[in-house]
Amino acid sequence: MATSVRQQTTKPPAAVRAFRGRPSRSGGRREPGRPRLTDAAYSAIKQDILECKLSPGQEVTERELAARYGLGKAPLREALIRLAHEELVQSIPRSGYRVALLTIQDVQDIFALRMLLEPAATREAAGHIDAAELERLNQVCAAGYTPGDRASESAFLRANREFHVAIAAASGNRRLARILEGLLEETERLFHLGLAVRDRSDEMRHEHEDLIDALRRGDAEAAVRTTVEQIKAARSMVMDGILATDWFREMPVSRW
């Protein structure tokens, strides 16, 4: 059953605080315009959705979100319209909004696209990568994360996303890299569910090391094989995570 977000008295997220009034030339404070507040609201809500702090299927109202983020209804409403276009929230007439559900079909679609595009980018990147940068990102991933700690998981997943985006960028195809970056961002919400089930940091560190080695040597075939194995392992982890959640078990079979 969908739940309602509780009003919070804690200070707003950093994404919101960063857009608060800035010093004016006279030394006072001035309120930023609505576009700045809309961007702040959009970033804060989207991050909470990706981190599953706002869980799939959860119902929220503008009043509750205003209390949660310390923002007015106008920028929140505009931010929610943007998020609805991205299919991260759905409008409920005369009620509020619902965080978009995650279904088995969503998992299949996202990972099918990754399987089509990522190996192709990896093949083109072989022999053209910045190995030092990948090593740096891999070290961040190697530090692991604390299952259930959203901040820890987010730092881990951000480094993992940057690792794969760096490889896509090395392919030389900017459009392909941009599409993959969007797909990897979508995957983060799925990953938060999977990471809570089991710690894959050691496995991912070894996968990254194998991939870096193949790319450095210019061995495109080995790099593609490793990429395919990574995608399959990630899909399996995500499926385990989704199937273990209460909200998925309560979802009608017709909506899977």
Q: What is the pLDDT along the chain (256 residues), one digit of tens a residue?
A: 444 444 444 455 655 555 554 443 334 444 445 568 899 999 999 999 998 889 888 999 999 999 999 999 899 999 999 999 999 999 999 889 999 988 888 889 999 999 999 999 999 999 998 888 888 888 878 777 887 788 888 888 888 899 999 999 999 999 999 999 999 988 888 888 777 667 777 888 888 889 999 999 999 999 999 999 999 999 998 888 888 776 666 555 445 4
Single out the residue of 80, 88, 76 nearest to residue 186, CA to CA.
88
Could you give the domains of the chain? Answer: 14-99 (1.10.10.10), 104-246 (1.20.120.530)
CA distance 52 to 3: 13
Q: CA-to-CA distance for 223 and 174, rounded, in angstroms?
A: 20
Query: Is the overall model pTM greater than 0.85, yes or no?
Result: no
Instruction: Give the Å distances, CA to CA, from 152 to 149, 162, 191.
Output: 5, 16, 13
